[in-house]
Chain A
Amino acid sequence: MDIAQVIDYLKSYDGRQLKLMEVCGTHTAAIFKNGIRDLISPKIKLISGPGCPVCVTPTAFIDKCVSYAKAPGCELLTFGDMMKVPGTAGSLSENKAGDAHISIMYSPLEAIEKAAAHPDVTYVVAAVGFETTAPTYALLVKEAARRGLANIRLVTALKTAIPALHWICQNQNDIDGFICPGHVSVITGVHVYDELAAAYGKPFVVSGFEAEHILAAIYRIVKQIEAGEGRVENMYPNAVRENGNPNALQAIEDVYVPGPAVWRGLGRIDDSGLYLREEYAQFDGGSRGLDEDMELPAGCRCGDVITGRINPDQCPMFAGGSCTPMEPFGPCMVSSEGSCGIWYRNKH
């Protein structure tokens, strides 16, 4: 079956109304970039899930980062995506324009050379991400320990996707199938979805990020639903192995323990966070208990957006023009993988 036949099938689908969730923010961006909605039947509705790490990071994390960046002798290292996320004392970007010491990093391992070169400065790494980035931060911690660098700290907001998928399946039963995150699956492998598919009887299909990958995954989900099936399929076998990446999984196991984490818009989910193990406690910059969130302005519906209950343009702040990438209220409007920002930039 070639891609034209897949498109033809999805375009002419006329069965019951379906609601599919793409869990990963990179998928949301790819769906817009390739105009996927334009290629499938309106009876297949795609909704965006909580898989943008920036979007589910609570305000307390930003505030903690800002306080480090303003502390004497400290420099905060962060990926660029976090810069404009609003905190109660302003975003990192706003504070960088003030008196805070903040550098955008391209790799967390940059902290090693900086820390070695400037022992009088404490480098605080804003460690945000899912299973995809957690191993890199783990390598940073291991290397810092090996070299005895005492001037590195991590403030972590590392999360794992599977507990969040359980939460969604338990709290929102109207989703018919899931396009599972390709990058996360490279690390975790495919079997992590088995329990979900068995428990909830829904299709969980792992997809890559090209238009053809996503269309093929949607096609497989629809075919499963039509056949009354709900199982795991790997439609990204070139990159995703059954058991994932054992080295990365080992690095995660070595360095972190699971613990409760607050997902902005969802709330606290047990065992969905990754925290430094006791033996690496000296590198922890106070990552536990960062669960306070900013009181959302009246009308802000971030929580409904990241659980797919509404589309971004159904939020009154989006529709009324008071929340924009220039003046965002919530991180979903900030991040390049946040659904509000993606909808806004594409003028959907």
Chain B
Amino acid sequence: MKITMAHGSGGKSSAQLMKDIFGKHFRNDVLDKMEDAAVLSLPASDESTADGSAVARIACSTDSFVVTPLVFKGGDIGKLCVCGTVNDLLMMGAVPKYLTCGFIMEEGLDTDLLDQLVGSMAAQAREAGVIIAAGDTKVVEGNGGLYINTTGIGLIPEGRDVSSSNCRAGDVILCSGNLGDHHACILSHRMEIENDITSDCAALNDIVDALFDAGIDVRTMRDVTRGGLGTVINEIAGSSACKIELDEDSIPVSPQVKGFSDILGLDPLYMGNEGKMIAVVPEAQAEAALAAMRSAEHGKDAVMIGRVLEGEGAFIKTRLGATRRFDVLYGEGLPRIC
């Protein structure tokens, strides 16, 4: 088999590649959990605990960014490479602290553009409260392209237990806002279609802080990136061994993105985002959690989109009252949007 673009889609092909090659060689208890970020337990330093018996937990995640074009409406690869990794840490309940970055630059890359992109990265790092602590550059033959890898480390405060496997029947699914903006924005750039669709690229510290500050017992958080909501919901239903039912009418999509995706035959359920998340919380805290999310700038359009039930699989209740099952993304979706 040869690698094809479908292996980079974040859907079924990507998952199969992880399992067949990386999972086979890298098996360990940490990686096998397949979360957004690894949670590592370390012996606490003597200064932080009196008896040295407690452990501190850190979250660690890495992500590579290959988006084209490098600059798009609402962001650029510099901003994106901070947001993507910071969000992965946040989704484990961690407070992001440090990032490393690796730049692979193709010859011909304009240094003024590079300066702009690194400036954007620095500004986003300040906003997200992370320090860029180490970095590396390499130059390869090519045509002015740029790829960036970032690795992040965050600290998980005591008492937080967030995982894809924590959902249980009776919980509700909250979504932080409109889906498909980033995907539609990048595709518009590539197809040279003029519209006002702007990428949602953002670090979601404000939403996550608001949820924990409000004392919400957050079960699961996931940023809805490659593969879209459809893939994320299936993964959560699988990890938590539960059934999830979404309400089609409540899944938020802007009229612009809906029109755009209708014309191109895309389904917002499988479109990628870079500044949207879902949170799964107990039903009793649904209103409080929604209020907390809406108090944050990036969560002001938060809505409840579904419920966790006994059973298995991912389902949608359609606008006209039918129920259908849905699966993860198969095939390519759109390559290289993040």
The residues of A with any CB-CB pair to B shorter than 8 Å are 3, 7, 26, 32-39, 80, 83-84, 93-94, 96-98, 106, 211-212, 215, 325-326, 336, 341, 344-348
Contact = CB atoms under 8 A, between A and B. Distances in A.
B321 A32 contact: no
Interface SS majority for chain B:
loop
B324 A326 contact: no
Contact of A325 (B4, B12, B267, B318): B12
Contact of B330 (A7, A39, A215, A345): A345
B267 A35 contact: no
B267 A33 contact: yes
A346 B267 contact: no
B220 interface: no
A215 B330 CA distance: 28
A35 B316 CA distance: 9
Contact of A346 (B2, B13, B190, B327): B327
Given A96-B4, A106-B191, A325-B12, A32 B324 contact: yes
Contacts of A37: 322
22 contacts: A26-B265, A33-B267, A33-B318, A34-B322, A35-B318, A35-B323, A35-B324, A39-B322, A80-B332, A93-B4, A93-B5, A97-B2, A106-B190, A211-B318, A211-B320, A212-B320, A215-B320, A326-B12, A326-B13, A336-B331, A346-B324, A347-B326
**Chain A facing B: main interface SS:** helix
Contacts of B126: none
Given A35-B318, A35-B324, A346-B327, 15 more contacts: A26-B265, A34-B318, A35-B320, A80-B332, A83-B332, A93-B5, A96-B4, A211-B320, A215-B320, A326-B330, A336-B265, A336-B331, A344-B327, A345-B326, A348-B325
A326 B20 CA distance: 14
A98 B2 contact: yes
B227 interface: no
Interface string B1-12: 011111000001
Interface residues of B, number: 27
Nearest to B329: A345
B4 A346 contact: no
B27 interface: no
Contacts of A336: 265, 331
A94 B4 contact: yes
B313 interface: yes
B236 to A, nearest CB: 17
A145 to B, nearest CB: 25
Contacts of B254: none
The 3 closest A-B pairs by CB, nearest first: A35-B322, A97-B2, A38-B322
B199 to A, nearest CB: 19
B114 to A, nearest CB: 27
A212 B322 CA distance: 13
Contacts of A347: 313, 325-327
Interface string B196-209: 00000000000000
Contact of B325 (A80, A106, A341, A346): A346
A88 B73 CA distance: 43
Contacts of A33: 267, 318, 324
A6 to B, nearest CB: 10
A184 to B, nearest CB: 15
A97 B331 contact: no
B324 A345 contact: no
B16 interface: yes
Contacts of B12: 325-326
B24 interface: no
